Chain A
Amino acid sequence: EPEVTQTPSHQVTQMGQEVILRCVPISNHLYFYWYRQILGQKVEFLVSFYNNEISEKSEIFDDQFSVERPDGSNFTLKIRSTKLEDSAMYFCASSEVGRTQYFGPGTRLTVL
């Protein structure tokens, strides 16, 4: 059964450093998403991506964040200058048009 994959599973970085989180969505899906979950809190929407551009973004998704689909398979989330409060679990998800979103296993980001 096809699934969303994410790498790395755990990323540790120093405050102020740039990080890139990677995702490989399910191959026939056209919509891609990033969500984050700070430990002990609810899952929050960051951004959605369709047809090579951002279709929606939340207030959390400020200028420090960017997304890219550099090739036909990867979907990345970049945080330019990480802050302590960026420490969270980051989930990638993908879906067909108007269909259920399937989540990857997540990347745990720890900012020191």
Chain B
Amino acid sequence: AQTVTQSQPEMSVQEAETVTLSCTYDTSESDYYLFWYKQPPSRQMILVIRQEAYKQQNATENRFSVNFQKAAKSFSLKISDSQLGDAAMYFCAYRRASGSARQLTFGSGTQLTVLP
């Protein structure tokens, strides 16, 4: 079974600074997808960024980028120029690419605080 581990329950960053959230995963699959979702206090799950395992290039979305290390099974999220609105719980998630198993497997989350 796939597992996703987020070893940082809490992180804080100064506004305008950069922060990196860590995620590791375990799978025997060669093709899969990885995601970062953001959950603000409203508790809605918002997609931040997605990475296909077959792509070597790291995904970027504006101030958000990932460092995907397939051999190390590591998928970290970098937030540049942090803003107060980035404060939220961040979940890393995994999904197989093939077969009927399309469920997302989530990590336990990292609570990010942005300090003014």
Task: Write the residues of chain A forming the contact surface with B, with a CB cutoff of 8 angstroms.
Answer: 31, 33, 35, 37, 41-45, 48, 55-56, 58, 89, 91, 93, 95, 98, 100-106, 108
Contact = CB atoms under 8 A, between A and B. Distances in A.
A104 B41 CA distance: 15
Contact of A55 (B45, B93, B100, B104): B100
A35 B107 CA distance: 14
A56 B101 contact: yes
A59 to B, nearest CB: 11
13 contacts: A42-B91, A42-B109, A43-B104, A45-B103, A48-B102, A55-B102, A56-B103, A98-B102, A100-B47, A101-B102, A103-B46, A103-B47, A106-B44
Contacts of A56: 100-103
> Is the contact region of chain B dominated by helix, strand, or loop, or is it mixed?
loop
Interface of B: 33, 35, 37, 42-47, 50, 91, 93, 95, 97, 100-109
B103 A43 contact: no
Contacts of B33: 100
Contact of B103 (A41, A48, A89, A104): A48
B104 A35 contact: yes
Contacts of A102: 47
Given A55-B100, A56-B100, A89-B43, A45 B105 contact: yes
A50 to B, nearest CB: 8
A101 B44 contact: no
A100 B108 CA distance: 20
Closest CB pairs A-B (n = 9)? A103-B45, A45-B103, A43-B106, A105-B44, A42-B108, A42-B106, A55-B100, A106-B43, A89-B43
Contacts of B104: 33, 35, 43, 45, 93, 101
Given A100-B35, A103-B37, A105-B43, 12 more contacts: A33-B102, A42-B106, A42-B107, A45-B104, A55-B102, A56-B100, A98-B102, A100-B33, A100-B50, A102-B47, A103-B46, A106-B43
